[in-house]
Amino acid sequence: MRALVLLCLATAALTAASPARAAEPVVVEDEAGDSGEAPDIVHVEVTRASGAVVFAVRFSGSPTLARDVQLVTILLDADRDETTGPDGTELAIRADAGGARLEAWQDALWQEVPGAAVRSSYAADVLTVTVGRAALEGSRAFEFVVAASEGDLDLEGTVDYAPDVEPASFALPGIARVIAEVGAARAGRRLTAAVAVVLSDGSREPPTTLVCTARLRGLVLARSGRCAWRLPASASGAMLVVTVAATWEGATARPVTRRVRVR
Ligand SMILES: [Ca+2]
Ligand SMILES: [Ca+2]
């Protein structure tokens, strides 16, 4: 786990130094035919969705993943702290063809988290598991291992792990910059600002939260929409100052300011 932590630190440093980062999804390939009696994982992809993370686990040999017979466990080190949970993993998603549940390591036991936002589906040899970021305790970066087992992972039996040795890493991108385009400012007219965030992986997304403020001659204007205002007829010639504070999936951008002269 120490090597893993060092790797994580190195990755964090790289992310801080460069706006470019590895493109999604995170992919783990696993050998076919190495699983014994357990379901045989051959490919894992982890991607982000709005407010959630999606694991797609592909198998060879079309296992049934029947309940209480074949189980897929996604072990997560969501706090990236090797002292929390066995081998650092304090969350476990257990899934089979019947559904999925989240368990947390508490009082030295795996205990189900009631009402956790976890769901799964199994079709065409791909088990798709979606977990809400809230269920991941808001984690923006985690280590993971997928284990397919015949019966309970924690009991005797055969297991196929992906990756086989060290856990894999997944991280949501940060915000590289905020795009705030302020429309034409005309006295007596409505003004809107269009806001998007550009992520460190180059993709462009709408903000998760957005606070827009406009000041005219030092006074805050009442909003007429999330990022819209009606300019007073007396505003002609004044400088309008629009400030935008945006977040995306738990990442906070520095507020940006736009100044436009009202015509
Ligand atoms: Ca395998
Ligand atoms: Ca941990």
Q: 226-236 pLDDT, tens per residue?
A: 999 999 999 99
Q: Which ligand is nearest to the CA of 158?
A: 1
| Domains recognised in the chain with CATH numbers | 2-7+20-171 (2.60.40.1190), 175-261 (2.60.40)
Distance of alpha carbon 233 from alpha carbon 223, whole angstroms: 16
> Look-up: residue for tokens 């790289």?
14
Distance 156 CA to ligand 1 centre (A): 18
Distance 129 CA to ligand 1 centre (A): 18
Mean pLDDT on 35-55 = 94
Q: How many CB atoms lie within 10 A of CB 123?
A: 8
Inform me whether the pLDDT recorded for 205 exceeds 60: yes
Provide the pLDDT for residue 5.
42
Give the dihedral of Cα atoms 43, 81, 249, 135; nearest 10 deg: 80
Mean pLDDT on 205-223 = 96
pTM of the model: 0.80
Torsions phi, psi for 48 (to 5 deg): -100, 150
Cis peptide before 25 (omega within 30 of 0): yes
Instruction: Specify whether the CB–CB gap between 190 and 205 falls below 8 A.
Output: no
Q: What confidence tens digit (pLDDT) does each residue in 152-191 have?
A: 887 767 899 999 989 999 999 999 999 999 999 999 999 9
Q: Which ligand is nearest to the CA of 78?
A: 2
Instruction: Specify whether the CB–CB gap between 177 and 252 falls below 8 A.
Output: no
Instruction: Specify whether the CB–CB gap between 43 and 28 falls below 8 A.
Output: yes
Provide the pLDDT for residue 156.
63
